[in-house]
């Protein structure tokens, strides 16, 4: 579990559906909030990466829904890597509610893509170093 980060978010009314729970299609957004926060610990910002010509599209996504979340819940999103990135970088997520119940687990695999030729590329060295330094803490 490499460099886990934690961020809280409050469920929005708009995210509920007529079953009275957070619509399952909202969770990829929650994961993304966790992922963006994870990257920020290295001062890595999506928009800076994109300005540097590095794109990070999502290649796959998997979610297991364990319990439902409701409007007003305060959710905690834990985000971590299982292994160092290469061409791909797999983020793992766990989401807990305010009663510390695990409501959801999942992962997303992102691919490093060179914006110029739109081809996959290895994780840039400066990113790898940032992660390794922190992991060694």
Rounded to whole angstroms, the Cα distance separating 55 from 40 reads 16
Rounded to whole angstroms, the Cα distance separating 2 from 41 reads 12
> Rounded to the nearest whole angstrom, what is the least distance from the CB of residue 136 to its own copies in the complex?
28
> Rounded to the nearest whole angstrom, what is the least distance from the CB of residue 4 to its own copies in the complex?
20
Question: In terms of DSSP bridges, do strands 74-81 and 54-55 run parallel, antiparallel, or are they unpaired?
Answer: unpaired
Instruction: Between 23 and 129, name the residue whose CB sits nearer to its own copies.
Output: 23
Q: Quick check: 54 and 111 in contact, CB under 8 A?
A: no
Site for its own copies in 97-136 (CB under 8 A): 108
Residue 4 binding its own copies, by CB under 8 A? no
Instruction: Between 29 and 132, name the residue whose CB sits nearer to its own copies.
Output: 29
Per-residue burial over 47-76, b if 16 or more Cβ lie within 10 Å, else e, is: eebeeeebbbeeeeeebeeeeebeeebebb
Site for its own copies in 25-64 (CB under 8 A): 25-26, 28-29, 32-33, 36, 45-47, 50, 55, 57-64
> Rounded to the nearest whole angstrom, what is the least distance from the CB of residue 50 to its own copies in the complex?
7
Residues contacting its own copies: total by CB under 8 A: 37
Rounded to whole angstroms, the Cα distance separating 38 from 92 reads 11
Instruction: Between 61 and 135, name the residue whose CB sits nearer to its own copies.
Output: 61
Strands (E) in 28-81, as ranges, are 54-55, 58-65, 74-81
Binding positions for its own copies, rule: CB under 8 A: 12-14, 16-21, 23-26, 28-29, 32-33, 36, 45-47, 50, 55, 57-65, 68, 70-72, 108
């Amino acid at each position: 579990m490499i460099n886990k980060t934690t961020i809280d978010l409050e469920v929005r009314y708009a995210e509920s559906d007529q079953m009275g729970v957070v619509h399952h299609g909202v969770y990829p957004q929650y994961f993304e909030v966790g992922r963006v926060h994870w990257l920020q610990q290295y001062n890595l910002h999506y928009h800076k990466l994109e300005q540097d010509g590095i794109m990070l599209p999502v290649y796959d996504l998997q979610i297991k829904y364990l319990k439902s979340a409701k409007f007003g819940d305060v959710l905690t999103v834990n985000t971590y890597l299982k292994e160092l990135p290469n061409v791909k970088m797999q983020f793992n997520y766990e989401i807990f509610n305010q009663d510390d119940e695990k409501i959801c687990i999942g992962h997303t695999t992102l691919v490093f893509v060179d914006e110029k030729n739109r081809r996959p590329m290895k994780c840039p060295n400066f990113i790898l170093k940032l992660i390794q330094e922190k992991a060694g803490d």
